[in-house]
Copies of this chain bind each other. A is one copy, B any other.
Amino acid sequence: MLSKKCKYAIHALVYLAERYQQGPVHIQDIADAQHIPKKFLEAILLEMRNAKILHSKKGKGGGYYLYKKPEDVNLVEIIRLMDGAISMLPCVSINYYERCEECRDEVTCGIRDAFTGVRDETLKVLSRSTLAHIVKRQRDLGK
């Protein structure tokens, strides 16, 4: 399961993607619209700013806006940033690899083998899911 933090991040990004190139949006606006505690959202947005997904403008009339193009931000990137590994096991993780303490030999481990398959399929779907794709999809669905 994704953490609330990660869910909030995705919702906030979709909200900003819907307002792409329309100037900065207040944290408060996003918080109100998406029902996210403002202070918590602050930390989340800051983290995404540091990751160069967002930019911000301080002072009056300031706020956050997408820095990357909506078609260049996918769910893989967001989840990795917020929650870490995508894989279900550390020993099959690409970005957060850790050796299995339990298994003797990774190469002949049937369990590892199964979860490598899960990882690959998950990455395939998540990398196709960009902000642009999500926004388009909900417009098509008639939002």
Contacts and interface: CB of A to CB of B under 8 A. Distances in A.
Interface residues on A, range: 35 or more
A66 to B, nearest CB: 16
Number of chain copies forming the complex: 2
A3 to B, nearest CB: 10
Contacts of A129: 114, 117
Chain A residues touching B, majority SS: helix
Nearest to A10: B111
A121 B125 contact: yes
Interface of A: 1-2, 7-8, 10-11, 14, 34-36, 75, 79, 84-85, 87-90, 101-103, 105, 107-111, 113-114, 117-118, 121-122, 124-126, 129, 133-138, 141-143
